[in-house]
């Protein structure tokens, strides 16, 4: 299914789709670099001709280790049975029959014997070198290389992923995309834009109890900024600006930002200027998203 059809039919929101794709691509970049190069043996300090020899060496070593573990298990079992039999004979010589004391002492002594045998066999194996796993000294690099090769998604999948990502990125350059978002989705997106411009402590408010404020953050000079987002297609009048200013005044906040995708009436612009409220419309949002600084965009919230 082509990527554009898939993302039209999915129930995941456009914002979530874009963020999921962005996270996937970032993970691939971290693992395979910006060129998404398929892992090569040389990247792991391996000689391409060495791979088969490592695999052969380790397969032989694995057989040898399994054989040693079988021997150890058999020796442990034999010693356990022998020593437990000795305990039974000893207890019979003491009590002459099965009774409560016989059972208690038998269970206790058998547990101790099995534990001691395990310790003894492990120590003895360590002394003679049988506990050491004889694997090739490049085994860890080899394992990492094989795992990365297996997890490599392939050029076709990466290409499709990048196409889907570009599809959404291009959409974000068009105002129709932004107008298609609901209020919560638009607030999330503008929150991400603020983080992109390195504003500090950017937080989206819960949605109630904040006087209509949607986002709070700290300016570059650590002053508090209140932001209200309106995803309306129509121009905003002066009322939203007045409401924002009322909350700013009550909380002693000097800087406010009103984001209205549909733009603002002349009256709204005049009043906003007097109240030190910055106005941002859909065209400003697109420029900000694309990294095209507005006039004094580095001081956007000043």
How far apart, in whole angstroms, are the C-alpha atoms of residue 225 and residue 60?
A: 67
The pLDDT score that the predictor gives to residue 132 is 46
Give pLDDT tens digits along the chain (302 positions).
Answer: 333 334 444 455 666 677 788 888 888 888 888 888 888 888 888 877 777 777 777 777 777 778 877 877 887 788 778 777 777 777 777 766 666 776 777 777 777 877 777 777 777 666 555 444 455 667 778 888 888 888 888 888 888 888 888 877 776 778 888 888 888 899 999 998 898 888 889 999 886 555 679 999 998 888 999 999 999 889 999 999 999 999 999 999 999 999 999 999 999 999 999 998 999 999 888 888 887 655 444 455 65
The pLDDT score that the predictor gives to residue 296 is 46
How far apart, in whole angstroms, are the C-alpha atoms of residue 159 and residue 65?
A: 44
Q: At which residue do the structure tokens 């009256």 appear?
A: 267
Residue 55 has a CB neighbour count (10 Å cut-off) of 14
Selected from 3.40.50.1000, 3.40.50.2300, 3.40.1350.10, 3.30.830.10, the CATH number assigned to the domain covering 179-299 reads 3.40.1350.10
How far apart, in whole angstroms, are the C-alpha atoms of residue 259 and residue 268?
A: 12
The pLDDT score that the predictor gives to residue 35 is 85
pTM of the entire predicted model: 0.52
Residue spans of the domains in the chain: they are 3-38+152-171, 44-142, 179-299
Burial status of residue 93 (CB atoms within 10 A of its CB: 0-12, 13-18, 19 or more): exposed
């Amino acid at each position: 299914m082509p990527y554009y059809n898939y993302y039209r039919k999915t129930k995941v929101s456009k914002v979530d789709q874009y963020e999921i794709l962005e996270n996937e691509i970032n993970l691939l970049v971290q693992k395979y670099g910006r060129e998404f190069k398929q892992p090569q043996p040389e990247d792991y300090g391996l000689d391409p001709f060495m791979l088969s020899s490592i695999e052969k060496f380790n397969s032989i070593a694995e057989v040898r280790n399994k054989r040693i573990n079988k021997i150890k298990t058999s020796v442990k079992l034999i010693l356990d049975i022998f020593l437990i039999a000795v305990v039974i004979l000893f207890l019979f010589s003491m009590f002459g029959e099965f009774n409560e004391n016989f059972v208690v002492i038998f269970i206790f002594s058998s547990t101790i014997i099995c534990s001691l045998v395990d310790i003894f066999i492990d120590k003895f194996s360590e002394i003679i070198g049988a506990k050491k796993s004889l694997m090739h000294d490049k085994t860890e690099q080899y394992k990492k290389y094989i795992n990365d090769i297996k997890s490599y998604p392939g050029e076709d999948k990466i290409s499709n992923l990048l196409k889907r990502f570009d599809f959404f990125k291009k959409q974000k350059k068009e105002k129709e995309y932004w107008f298609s978002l609901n209020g919560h989705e638009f607030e999330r997106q503008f929150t991400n834009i603020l983080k992109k411009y390195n504003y500090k402590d950017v937080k989206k408010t819960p949605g109630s109890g904040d006087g209509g404020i949607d986002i709070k953050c700290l300016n570059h000079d650590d002053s508090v900024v209140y932001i209200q987002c309106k995803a309306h297609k129509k121009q905003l009048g002066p009322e939203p600006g007045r409401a924002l200013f009322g909350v700013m005044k009550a909380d002693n906040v000097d800087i406010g930002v009103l984001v209205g995708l549909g733009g603002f009436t002349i009256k709204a612009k005049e009043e906003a200027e007097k109240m030190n409220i910055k106005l941002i419309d859909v065209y400003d949002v697109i420029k900000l998203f694309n990294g095209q600084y507005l006039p004094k965009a580095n001081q956007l919230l000043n």
